Amino acid sequence: MFAYVPLDLILGGGQARFDRWQLPQELMNPYLQSSGWVSFLNSLSRYIIHELLVCVCREGHEALGVTWDGAFSLSDIWLCNGGVMINPKVPCRNYDEDGGRADYQSLHYIISTSFYDFYSKRYPLYLDSLLYELETCPAARRQQHSFVTFLVNHPSLISFTDRVGIYASTSTMIRQLPRYHRQILYTLLNIQEYDSWGLAVEFIPDLNSTYKFANVPRYGITLDSCLQFGRNYLSHFGTFTSLLFAGRCCL
């Protein structure tokens, strides 16, 4: 017999949802006012959100083609035997755009209200990006396998170790591409909306030591250069504290 535990019961009673770290001085931007504290979703929170997105977006929308019209609440989300399911009493029907939009709105509300860190007065790192995707996702993408895969593996839901593995595997895959395909990839990555990423790291001493050599930036302004910076930074930390934060503070 399976035991179903509603999510509101799990998150109630002071259940810890975040890990908090105080950034060392060398990882802080001296031109920005900050308390120095950064919060991250802890392993339980990452697991819950991941499984919730899998349940609604992967299994519901994509695989089964059903929608709940956004009618589920926190108490209707059940954890059972290592997974998440929606209360069977919540009616579902064949998927359409209106139902998908309503489900995304409910997901946005549940995640935004349940995982806001009142101590640091902000969302945990990258969670606002996930909420933005839920809020602005075009209707045509909600059943796309590639988008759902991105959503359920969003950067806010992966650990430092996962991030290092992603950088390593991405670097290996790019190096193994034939030159022509690699050039196509660089063309796709080198779009102007990412051309200001260097400003985010230039004033942070520990990141700047990798970003510049002899006070000259080593990297270009485009996204593939940003990815290269992330891989290089994770390969040789400037300080021990970087080990704790690099995977969370770099793209």
The pair of three-digit structure tokens given for residue 31, joined into one six-digit string: 């031109």
Within 13 Å, how many C-alpha atoms sit on residue 123's CB side? Answer: 16
Query: Does residue 79 come out as left (phi exceeding 0), alpha (psi in the -120 to 50 range) or beta?
Result: beta
Give the pLDDT score at 236. 61
Domain coordinates of the chain in residue numbers?
5-156, 160-249
pLDDT digits (tens, 9 = 90+) for 155-180: 899 887 787 777 777 777 777 878 88
The band of 240, judged by pLDDT with boundaries at 50, 70 and 90, is very low
Beta bridge partners of 40: 19
Which residue blocks in the chain are alpha helix, DSSP H? 7-11, 43-53, 97-114, 127-136, 145-152, 160-176, 179-189, 199-202, 205-211, 223-235, 240-249
Predicted pLDDT of residue 138: 93
The first and second tokens of residue 174, run together, are 């790019």
Q: How confident is the model at residue 251 (pLDDT cuts 50, 70, 90)?
A: very low
| C-alpha span between 218 and 225 (Å, rounded) | 9
Q: Which residue has the tokens 């593939």?
A: 224
Contacts of 231 (CB under 8 A, 6+ apart): 167, 168, 170, 171
The dihedral built from the CA positions of residue 161, 188, 108 and 249, taken in this order, carries a sign that is: positive
The values of phi and psi at residue 61, to 5°, are -70, -50
Segment 130-146 shows an average pLDDT of 93
The percent of residues above 90 in pLDDT, for the chain, comes to 38
Q: What is the mean pLDDT of residues 121-137?
A: 92
Contact 194, 219 (CB under 8 A): no
CATH of domain 5-156: 1.10.510
pLDDT tens-place string over residues 55-109: 999 999 999 999 999 999 999 999 887 789 999 999 999 999 999 999 999 999 9
DSSP 158-218: S-HHHHHHHHHHHHHHHHHS-HHHHHHHHHHH--GGGTTTTHHHHTSHHHHHHHEETTEE-
Supply angle C-alpha 71, 72, 73, rounded to 5.
120
| Whole-angstrom distance, CA of residue 85 vs CA of residue 52 | 8
